[in-house]
A and B are shown apart, each in its own frame.
Chain A
Amino acid sequence: LAKTTQPISMDSYEGQEVNITCSHNNIATNDYITWYQQFPSQGPRFIIQGYKTKVTNEVASLFIPADRKSSTLSLPRVSLSDTAVYYCLVALDTGRRALTFGSGTRLQVQP
C-alpha cells in the first residue's frame, strides 16, 4: 500500500481557510485518496474521497494534481469545532478493504 506523509500538526484561526497537504509518491493506478476526520474520544468520520482533479462536498474540497503524488484537503472558513486529527489514506478501491491510517495531522483552531 502507498505510504502517506502529512504534517504532524497545524494551527489556524477561526474563519481562515486551512489546507492540509498529503504526499503519496508511490500511489498506484487503482488507488483512491480518502480523508477522515477524528475528534477526541470518537471514531474517525469520512470527509471526502477522490481519484483526480478536484472534488468538493459540503464539508471540504480535495485537490489532486495530475501526477496524483500528493493531495490537498481544503477546509474553508474553519471554526473551533474543526479542531481534530485529519487522516489521509490511499488504498485500492477493491480487494483488501482494511484502512491504513498514518499518524494524521492534528489541526488546532484558535478563536
Chain B
Amino acid sequence: NAGVMQNPRHLVRRRGQEARLRCSPMKGHSHVYWYRQLPEEGLKFMVYLQKENIIDESGMPKERFSAEFPKEGPSILRIQQVVRGDSAAYFCASSPPISGRAYEQFFGPGTRLTVL
C-alpha cells in the first residue's frame, strides 16, 4: 500500500506566478489535510477536505490560497501570485473515513516551495 504521494517534491516559482501542489492520499483514505511548515517551526494546519467538500479551512490565508479534492484525482493546493513569504514546506496528510483514533494522520514527504 503506497503512502501519501506529493508532487512535485521541489517547486521554484518567481514572485507573481502560480504554484500548484498535488497530493494523492493513501488508498482507502477519503480525508485530506494540508499543512505548512516554515523553517525551524512546527506544522500549521491550513485546510481539511473530503471528496468534493471543504470541511475546515480555518487555517487558510484569506487571499491567493485555495484547495480542492475532486471526485477523481489528487487534492490540489493552489497558491496564486506567490510572494517570498510563501516559501515553505507544504505537507499533505490523509486519514481513513472512520477511525477510533482521529489523529493518526499519515503524512506525505512534502513539497518545498521556493519563491524567488
B residues bordering A, Cβ < 8 Å? 4, 31, 33, 35, 41-45, 48, 55-56, 58-59, 91, 93, 95, 100-110, 112
For B45, give its contact among A43, A45, A98, A104 (CB under 8 Å): A98
For A101, give its contact among B31, B43, B48, B106 (CB under 8 Å): B43
Q: A87: CB under 8 A from chain B?
A: yes
Q: Is chain A's binding surface mostly helix, strand, loop or mixed?
A: loop
User: How many residues on the A side are at the interface (Cβ–Cβ under 8 A)?
Assistant: 24
Q: Are A41 and B110 in contact (CB under 8 A)?
A: yes
Q: Are B43 and A99 in contact (CB under 8 A)?
A: yes
Other than the known A87-B42, A100-B45, A103-B41, what 19 A-B pairs have Cβ atoms closer than 8 Å?
A: A32-B103, A34-B103, A41-B112, A42-B107, A42-B110, A43-B91, A43-B107, A44-B43, A44-B107, A93-B103, A97-B33, A97-B95, A97-B102, A98-B45, A98-B56, A99-B93, A99-B105, A101-B43, A102-B42
Closest CB of chain A to B17's CB: distance in Å? Answer: 24
Q: Are B31 and A97 in contact (CB under 8 A)?
A: yes
Which residues of the partner chain A approach B56 to less than 8 Å between Cβ atoms? 96-98
Q: Mark A78-111, 1 if CB is under 8 A from B, else 0.
A: 0000000001010111101111111110000000
8 contacts between A and B (CB under 8 A): A32-B103, A41-B110, A42-B109, A49-B104, A93-B100, A97-B55, A103-B41, A103-B42
Q: Are A49 and B41 in contact (CB under 8 A)?
A: no
